Amino acid sequence: MRGPLPDFPWDRLDPDKQRAAAHPDGIVDLSVGTPVDPTPEVVREALCAAADAPGYPTTHGIPALREAAVGYLDRRFGITGLEAAAVLPTIGSKEFVAWLPSTLGLGVGDVVVVPETAYPTYAVGGQLAGCTVVPADSTMALGPETPALVWLNSPSNPTGRILPVEHLAKVVAWARERGVTVVSDECYLEFGWDARPVSVLHPDVCGGSHQGLLAVQSLSKRSNLAGYRAGFVVGDPVLIDRLLGVRKHAGMMVPRPVQQAMVAALDDDAHVDAQRERYAARREVLRRAFEGARFRIDHSEGSLYLWATRDEPCWDTVRWCADRGILVTPGDFYGAAGVRHVRVAFTATDERVAAAATRLEATRDPA
């Protein structure tokens, strides 16, 4: 039996949110990576055109969606050898992350490895299944213990760290020697800034075989579709078939109009490139402003976050920022290794990003 789940972390930020909201110019919320820019017109048109959908959708998704996903991954990331049958739509990526260990039939006695500093839902998914959750940034740290599942996340939430090809390949080789499933959360794969992210399914990582591997993809950030709950998982056909069988029984189906919107989003690269440029500009403004306010930025090579520190307890930094009307996320939400960092999202509007920069610049020592 699983133990009690932790409280939802962001509820603990409410007092600091109120504190930041009291700023005369209003709050700048950099705490949650929620898209704020418009959903692309091509996607909205596809959704509306498919609005007459009286019948149930299929769990496996329409062929056009699975084919669009294969084409997108080949075109953008050089992932070859995928078959459309090895793509499975998900209701966003969070539900998939949370229920994956249970869906794979894991439970008491099974070990799930999560990154040492990580999105909390990886651990929650293990807990929901009754598994033992072990944080580890290196499979070498596990010793003789053989887990059932290993989570990877590159670019990382919250740190923005990008794992090099060599590291990913070593994890895959280690896991295959032991029959361990590797699942890579790649929802920020479009957002590499100081390094180029590589999928666990790329031939340089997996040797051209997807056996034992799954990659989780999301359209929330790349296409401003967080409200659509649109994601998919792709990889080992045997694992996909196992997941499909369970998800059919559970009624985990992406609505047909959303599937059509996903096809349009996956087939169009122009809106992704435009959104990437927006985030790059916001990242540069915030990075300069936080560094000018005597923060140090660690990792942050990719994703939509800066991993920032003032070399003090993270909640002290949260309150320092809140006093200036800026809300950031304490690093301890992501594990004990984050206790002296905060996560800064650059998903706010240009106007709010500029407001944050102005407030931070006011803290600089006079020349």
What string of pLDDT tens digits covers the 367 residues of the chain?
A: 456 677 777 788 999 999 999 999 999 999 988 999 999 999 999 999 999 999 999 999 999 999 999 999 999 999 999 999 999 999 999 999 999 999 999 999 999 999 999 999 999 999 999 999 999 876 656 666 799 999 999 999 999 999 999 999 999 999 999 999 999 999 999 999 999 999 999 999 999 999 999 999 999 999 999 999 999 999 999 999 999 999 999 999 999 999 999 999 999 999 999 999 999 999 999 999 999 999 999 999 999 999 999 999 999 999 999 999 999 999 999 999 999 999 999 999 999 999 999 999 988 755 4
**Domain 9-38+271-361 falls in which CATH fold?**
Aspartate Aminotransferase, domain 1 (3.90.1150)
Partners of 90 in the beta sheet? Answer: 231
Question: What is the predicted pLDDT for the residue at 7?
Answer: 73
Residue appearing with tokens 């060599």 = 166
Domain with CATH 3.40.640.10 in the chain: 55-268
Question: What is the predicted pLDDT for the residue at 367?
Answer: 46
Query: What's the predicted TM-score (pTM) here?
Result: 0.92
Closest CA to 60 of 216, 264, 256: 256
Question: What is the predicted pLDDT for the residue at 176?
Answer: 95
Question: What is the predicted pLDDT for the residue at 6?
Answer: 72
Closest CA to 330 of 297, 340, 304: 340
Question: What is the predicted pLDDT for the residue at 365?
Answer: 57
Question: What is the predicted pLDDT for the residue at 139?
Answer: 60
Domain with CATH 3.90.1150.10 in the chain: 9-38+271-361
What Cα–Cα distance (Å) separates residue 47 from each residue in 231, 265, 292, 362?
15, 10, 44, 45
Report how far residue 157's alpha carbon sits from residue 161's, in angstroms, rounded to the nearest whole number: 8
Report how far residue 55's alpha carbon sits from residue 264's, in angstroms, rounded to the nearest whole number: 21
CATH number of 55-268: 3.40.640.10
Question: What is the predicted pLDDT for the residue at 140?
Answer: 58
